[in-house]
Amino acid sequence: MTIDQTAVARTASMAAQMASKDGFIAALDQSGGSTPGALKLYGIPETAYHGEAEMFRMMHEMRVRIMTSPAFTGARILGAILFEGTMDGSVGDVPVPTFLWERRGVVPFVKIDKGLEPEQNGVRRLKPMPGLETLLARAAKLGVYGTKMRSVIDHADPGGIAGLVQQQFEVAKIVIAHGLMPIVEPEVSIGSQTKREAETILLEEIKRQLEALPAGQQVMLKLTIPTETDLFLPLTRHPKVQRVVALSGGYSRDEACRLLAENHGMVASFSRALVENLRHGMSDDEFNAALAQDIEQIFQASVVKVA
């Protein structure tokens, strides 16, 4: 095979896994703003490091510990969403995206957003993303399959939600043009007083944007577990949606798994809920056993649904 043919075959294999295999996505994409909290939960206080470089080094060590754990394989985990710095890093001397796919059977994604604008019209839209085209080209060259960008809905404002979803799909089209699969993530805050109403509006706006996508193009969707059970079931069956995944959104892992198991067609893409029982001071045996237990619980909620 030539290099191009190899890349095409790899993408096809990744696409088949993401479209139909049982499992869930691990979100390992904490960035600058959320990293201190993630490290604190892991048992590393802010006093243990000095400066951003040392903070990210410790975060990378945590992620490598997770990715190299025996339970972190394609048997349960479909893909992993990476922070840009993790994508550019390595496990030993192997680039992280290569390690994930070739050594673990896990499809690599990268977080591309640069954070959120202040709330306006009940939503927090994506900040500008300078250098996006360069990042996408680098990700494709590294063997990354797709991307993720998160924006947030706080209130059921129809105009605000419509604009937010439109922005997400505008970025998604740029991602698709680079041969990558976009994960569109319009999160609805679980604490919103109008969560149910916001989700109903969101569903219709996503349908509208999907219909406008050219034939043959697809996106993935990462959505808050809905208040109305199976609200998003139509999206899981839409021909322009490769997969619908659920974010944990601040729920505990037990609560997120309970709710997820009630929603057919949705699989997990958990971040904090995946690692909430992991601690820096654990022995390797303790760490691996805790991670294996958490992975199995999330896997079961993703594939075994209640009536």
Catalytic entry in 111, 148, 185, 187:
185
> Could you give the CA distance from residue 109 to residue 79 in angstroms, rounded to a whole number?
7
Count CB-CB contacts under 10 A for residue 107.
Answer: 29
Q: Is 185 a catalytic residue?
A: yes
Of 51, 104, 109, 115, residue with least CA distance to 74: 104
Please, are residues 18 and 145 in contact by the beta-carbon 8 Å criterion?
yes
Question: Which residues are within 8 A (CB) of 246 and not within 5 positions of it... i.e. 6 or more apart?
Answer: 222, 223, 224, 225, 256, 260, 263, 266, 267, 268, 269, 270
Please, are residues 176 and 127 in contact by the beta-carbon 8 Å criterion?
no
Question: Which residues are within 8 A (CB) of 295 and not within 5 positions of it... i.e. 6 or more apart?
Answer: 71, 72, 76, 77, 274
Residue type, 226: P
As to burial, measured by CB atoms within 10 angstroms (0-12 exposed, 13-18 middle, 19+ buried), residue 145 is buried
Judged by DSSP in three states, 37 sits in helix
Q: Is 222 a catalytic residue?
A: yes
Would you please indicate which residues are annotated as catalytic (active-site) residues? 185, 222
